[in-house]
Amino acid sequence: MLGIIWGYNWVVMKKVLEYCGPFDFAALRTFFGALCLFAVLAWMKKPLRPTALKTTLLLGLLQTSIFTALVMWALVAGGAGKTAVLTYAMPFWLLVIAWPFLGERIHGVQWLAVILAFAGLGLILEPWRAHGSLASNLIATSAGIVWAFAAVVAKKLRGRVQVDLLSLTAWQMLLGGAVLVAVTLFIPQRPLAFTPYFWGALAYNAILATGLAWLLWLYVLNRMQAGVAGLAVLAVPVIGVLSAWLEIGEQPQPLEITGMLLIGVALALLGFLGMRERRVEPELAQE
């Protein structure tokens, strides 16, 4: 269900751009999404007070303000499926960024994942051929890189203080959404068309893709190994590509399909390695 909600949302976000500007929708979806998360926090009777407000603000700027704006901007000219794949290459960028910022060196089979991911990105971007979608592809790739930096910030924060994942997500989304709302006041965009599809897309993003999806994600994390849960999320770009193909006719070209498959194999390999490491660590601790 989580894969379907997040995967199909790439088509929803692409189609809603017929009725609003990318940054307006980015601001609205994050602001109302944050309100849904706070409603979930109140329903679960969890504390609403933020933790480490300055770091949470930084996380909100990266993971909500910049990341969401880049994703919606990439969807203006880029395909929904391809944008989903390029964005979900985030774990590959995290592997690279974690080396200088967290001291987590790339080793062993991880290098194979790096090579496969780089090859896949090259086949999708096709830098040797000038084409109209190159700019949107680079924007989507940048969104994945920003997401990876946000993951580093979140990991450092959780290493210093104990934070609730749902509360942290709600606060960083609210703060980042507030920044987006302020920014949109100074960026000229097409007028909002308050059509039924616009309201449906906003409700889908706020209620399903944010409120319900984060509850499902926490449920999965509490009952499965993190590596297995991470592998399950790989269904998101797959469903995004298939949904875009079936609903809006985005048929990938042979090179793009090959690149997507290479990135998928690289991410699956990273997920498998992470799952195996988490399985080995408790055994070593018992010994």
Contact between 197 and 16 (Cβ < 8 Å) = yes
The average pLDDT across 25-37 equals 94
Give the mean pLDDT of 199-227.
Answer: 84
Mean pLDDT of 74-79: 90
pLDDT value of position 81: 86
Q: Which two tokens stand for residue 85?
A: 């794949």
Say if residue 8's pLDDT is above 80.
yes
Looking at residue 19, what DSSP letter applies? S
186: number of Cβ within 10 Å: 7
What pLDDT, on the 0 to 100 scale, is given for residue 281? 43
Task: Note the pLDDT of residue 274.
Answer: 67
Terminal-to-terminal C-alpha distance of the chain: 38
Residue 254's pLDDT band (boundaries 50, 70, 90)? confident
Most confident of 80-94, 204-218, 263-277: 204-218
**Percent of the chain's residues with pLDDT above 90:** 36
Mean pLDDT, range 114-121, rounded to an integer: 80
Given a cut of 90, whether residue 74 has pLDDT beyond it is yes
User: Mean per-residue pLDDT for 14-35?
Assistant: 94
DSSP structure class, residue 65: I
CA distance 241 to 257: 10
Q: Give the type of residue at 64.
A: T
Q: What is the pLDDT of residue 230?
A: 62
Q: What is the mean pLDDT of residues 16-26?
A: 94
In this structure, the chain runs to a length of 287
Going by C-beta distance under 8 Å and a sequence separation of 6 or more, which residues neighbour residue 99? 105, 106
> Of residues 224 and 24, which shows the higher confidence score?
24
Contacts of 9 (CB under 8 A, 6+ apart): 204, 205, 208, 209, 240
Q: Give DSSP secondary structure letters for 133-199.
A: THHHHHHHHHHHHHHHHHHHHHHHHHHHS---HHHHHHHHHHHHHHHHHHHHTTS--PPP---HHHH
Confidence of residue 18 (pLDDT cuts 50, 70, 90): very high
CA distances (Å), 197 to each of 189, 192, 200, 204, 276, in order? 19, 12, 5, 10, 44
* DSSP one-letter code for 190: P
**pLDDT > 70 fraction of the chain, expressed in percent and rounded:** 89
Q: Is the model's pLDDT at 286 over the cut of 60?
A: no
The yes-or-no verdict on residue 282 having pLDDT over 60 is no
- Coil vs helix vs strand at 198: helix
pTM (2 d.p.): 0.84
Rounded Cα distance, 12 and 186, in Å = 26
Averaged confidence pLDDT in the chain: 84
- pLDDT at position 283, please? 38
Q: pLDDT tens-digit profile of 192-203?
A: 999 999 999 999
Mean pLDDT, residues 73-81 taken together: 90
Which of the four pLDDT bands, split at 50, 70 and 90, describes residue 72? very high
Q: Is the pLDDT of residue 261 over 80?
A: yes
Nearest CA to 117 out of 3, 277, 269 is that of 269
Average pLDDT over residues 136-159: 89
Q: What is the pLDDT of residue 279?
A: 53
Distances, alpha carbon 234 to alpha carbons 19, 90, 91, 152, 249, in Å: 30, 11, 11, 20, 22
Tens-place pLDDT, residues 163-172 = 888 899 999 9
